[in-house]
Amino acid sequence: MKFQTKITLLFFAISAAGLILLNAAIFYFVSQFSFKDFFDRLEARVNLTAQTNLFTDRNTDAYKEVRARYLEKLEDEKNYVVKIDSNEDNFPHPLKLPQSFYKSILDNGSAKYNESNHFYFGKTFEAKGARYMVIVAASDPYGFKELTQLKKILIVCFLISIVLSYIAGIVLSHYTMKPIQDITISVKQIKANNLHSRLPEVKGNDVVSSLISTFNTMLTRLETAFETQNNFISNASHELRTPLTIMTSEAELLLSGRKLDPVSEASVKTILAEAEKLHHILTSLLGLAQSGFDGKKQNWQQIRVDELVMNVADAVKKIDADCTIDIDFSTLPEEESQLYTAGNNNLLLLALSNIVMNGCKYSKKQPVKVQAKTENGFIVIVVTDNGIGIPEKDQQHVFEPFFRASNTSEFEGFGIGLPLTLNIIRLHKGSIGISSQEDKGTEIQVYLPISVG
């Protein structure tokens, strides 16, 4: 579940709980007020009933007139006057009500009770040398109708309110998460070739400004680390090339100059071969440095894929004349604009040459097929060989520097070619796919974006 959705649901749950409590409180207090008002009216009738029935020495006619003129008769209104004997536990109960109601009247002098829409109020009086209990019972259909109407109104308002609260939660979560989403979009745009970019600073001391500051600090550290690494590799490669060139030249001079005894000649040839290996390693390391972070695109140009493949085949042939390369352009589109990708020609030439040379080497000079096609906005270059293949357990590691598959011990190599190729393809916003079966061969797909314009 998305964090924004969680915020929306949390806000919705809190709002719904608050609305439930608010509506329950409104209904409770209104109903209590309504009940209290009705009980007050019943108490007034209890007093008038006592005056007109128990106190005959007073102006009972006046009380009757007041009651008839100013107090309307309530729904189902009934009056009960009961004389309480000395034995308070044994007196007639005019209504089938809980015993606690009668006991409360006797103990407290008055009591009230309601059951559904029926209300009862009782009170004791001293008159004519005896104790009496006066009870008035009535129904309040209008009050209950009002409460029922209030309940409907509260339910409708609650439903409307929770819908509005859900919408408000969506709006709140959107504006709450918008700064984070903006940061996410900005961070996604920062890649290895533009680590010099920074997120725009935001004033304040809130979480967003702190997060931006943390990201910018991290990017600074990454940029420094990349530059340090690449500078080291580049400088080391250049510095080592000079003495290596001298060693190679001196060895070639010894072999071409005067005659050497067989032992010395063999030693010089060994020195020359190892120097050439070291030169290849240094060239690859320098390629790794060039294909890593440099902060900008260098020598970027429009590259035609068929010409690139032909140049790759020529470059491999110059290095290994025995390599057989079958080129297939039959699936390329006829539209010329679909044949171009943007990039550095030398780097792409190096990357694809590494793949083709590996195919030739590990297939023991069997033909290597190179096919070019387009697919979903990408130029796809497929290199297929019938060589030794890559063991399944090693396939996830073939792009790690200096890693070599477990079945390549009889072949020379340094484990730099494929990592270098991957770096170059990633620099060109492409990707590499690999499919291989041991003892059957390997297929490598290189995806490069078609250049628009």
Min mean pLDDT across 156-165, 280-289, 420-429, 437-446 is at 280-289
pLDDT at 209: 84
pLDDT at 86: 67
Report pLDDT digits (tens) over 332-369.
Answer: 988 888 899 998 888 888 889 989 988 898 888 789 99
Query: CA torsion sign, 173 to 178 to 181 to 187?
Result: negative
Q: Is the pLDDT of residue 234 over 70?
A: no
Domains of the chain: 3-147 (3.30.450), 207-291 (1.10.287.130), 301-449 (3.30.565.10)
pLDDT at 295: 43
What is the token pair recorded at 430?
């492409």
- The confidence band for 55, taking pLDDT boundaries of 50, 70 and 90, is confident
- The confidence band for 13, taking pLDDT boundaries of 50, 70 and 90, is very high
Average pLDDT, the chain: 83
DSSP secondary structure, 20-60, as one string: HHHHHHHHHHHHHHHHHHHHHHHHHHHHHHHHHHT-TTS-H
Q: Is the pLDDT of residue 58 over 60?
A: no
User: What is the pTM for the complete model shown?
Assistant: 0.49
Q: Would you tell me the crossing angle of helices 262-291 and 345-362 to the nearest 10 degrees?
A: 130
What is the token pair recorded at 381?
């270059």
**Which helix (H) or strand (E) segment is 142 a member of?**
helix 141-188
Pick the more confident residue, 409 or 148: 148
Report pLDDT digits (tens) over 151-208.
Answer: 999 999 999 999 999 999 899 888 888 888 888 888 888 776 677 778 887 777 778 8
pLDDT at 292: 54
Report the distance separating Cα 301 and Cα 308, nearest Å: 12
pLDDT at 293: 47
Q: Supply the DSSP symbol for 346.
A: H
> Residue 312: how many CB atoms within 10 A of its CB?
25
Instruction: Please state whether beta strands 368-375 and 325-328 pair in parallel, antiparallel, or not at all (unpaired).
Output: parallel
pLDDT at 188: 81
Could you give the percent of the chain with pLDDT greater than 70?
A: 88
Could you give the percent of the chain with pLDDT greater than 90?
A: 23
> Are the C-beta atoms of residues 340 and 450 closer than 8 Å to each other?
yes
Residue of 203, 221, 201, 228 whose CA lies nearest to 212: 201
Q: Is the pLDDT of residue 376 over 70?
A: yes
> Are the C-beta atoms of residues 291 and 421 closer than 8 Å to each other?
no
Average pLDDT (409-424) is 80
The number of helix segments (H) and strand segments (E) in the chain equals: 9, 11
Pick the more confident residue, 62 or 18: 18
> Are the C-beta atoms of residues 265 and 257 closer than 8 Å to each other?
no
Average pLDDT (319-331) is 88
